[in-house]
Amino acid sequence: MKLTVLGSNGWFPANGQLTASYILEYKGTLIVIDAGTGIANFNLHTDILEKYDTVHVILSHYHFDHSVGIVYFNRWMTDKHLCFYFPAGKYYQSGAIGFENAIFAKGYNSGSLKGLAKRVSVSEYDENGFTINRIKIKTLALKHSNPSFALNFDDKFLYCTDTPTDEKVLRENSGCALIAHECWSKTDISGGRHTDFESLSAVLNKIGYAGKILLIHKNPDLSANDYKEMIQNCQDIAVAMDNDVIKI
């Protein structure tokens, strides 16, 4: 399993870091997790794209820092099959259709979802999870303004963003070798809407988590040094930087 960071910021690009997007290569399959402005970094990773005919794209939720890069895909996908997995409409006012209508509104965007690649498939997922090839993906609804979904890949890797620290979710997924978890600040500044480092470390200690942690969805108002200071003396915790490659 190999993770390539395309965009490690939340909210907006800053400090040379684009917004949420990650490439997961596993079992001969290419999965893109979230599609923020980090999709633009595909330009630096065309060698990965060359290996695959199909690109699977899973959105944790529809907020623009996780989805706006979808409109860039046609740059690299003219000979690919793009398979989208969107959170189901029942969690929002409308799901994939509402999103497509918003992002490709006539008169505001000359493209279309179907026009992004040679072939485009769209499916919606709910809390029952789904599979891609032989990869089992568990989906766990998190507490966010509109639910964001934590994504567990074969109980090896958990992607968990746009949530306050959630002890139940972390406990249920504590068998994962790597947890990529959002970290918005050192102490809580979001009124409990996002994760702060203190509460995350406290819960990880409490549940005795023995794997590695990658901090993602960085706050654009914090510098790389702010994050370095945050994790000093913490073994097995790293801060994601765009274009990092992590073996899981």
Count residues contacting Zn ion (CB under 5 A)?
Answer: 4
Q: Look up residue 73 and give its DSSP letter.
A: G
CB of 65 to Zn ion, least distance (A): 4
Q: Report the SS3 class of residue 233.
A: coil
Q: Determine which residue in the list 63, 80, 181, 218 makes contact with Zn ion, applying CB under 5 A.
A: 63
Nearer to Zn ion, 24 or 59 (CB): 59
Is residue 10 a contact residue for Zn ion (CB under 5 A)?
yes
164 touches 199 (CB < 8 A): yes
Neighbours of 154 (CB within 10 A): 15
CB of 145 to Zn ion, least distance (A): 7
Is residue 218 a contact residue for Zn ion (CB under 5 A)?
no
Query: What sign does the dihedral 159-162-166-169 (CA atoms) show?
Result: negative
Q: How do strand 135-141 and strand 130-132 relate by DSSP bridges? A: antiparallel
Is residue 56 a contact residue for Zn ion (CB under 5 A)?
no
- Concatenating the DSSP letter of every residue in 40-64 gives GGGGG-HHHHTT-SEEEEE-S---G
Q: For the window 137-166, what string marks contact with Zn ion as x by the rule CB under 5 A?
A: -------------------------x----
Token look-up 């995350």 returns: 200
Nearer to Zn ion, 161 or 201 (CB): 161
- Provide the b/e sequence for 105-131 (b: ≥16 CB within 10 Å): eeeeeeeebeebbeebebebbeeeeee
Q: Determine which residue in the list 5, 9, 56, 65 makes contact with Zn ion, applying CB under 5 A.
A: 65
- From 45-53, 59-67, 183-191, 206-214, span contacting Zn ion (CB under 5 A): 59-67
- From 27-35, 60-68, 103-111, 189-197, span contacting Zn ion (CB under 5 A): 60-68
- What count of Cα atoms within 13 Å lies in the side-chain half-sphere of residue 216? 34
32 touches 80 (CB < 8 A): no
CB of 69 to Zn ion, least distance (A): 13
- From 3-11, 45-53, 94-102, 108-116, span contacting Zn ion (CB under 5 A): 3-11
Question: Which residues in this chain contact Zn ion in the complex, by CB under 5 A?
Answer: 10, 63, 65, 162
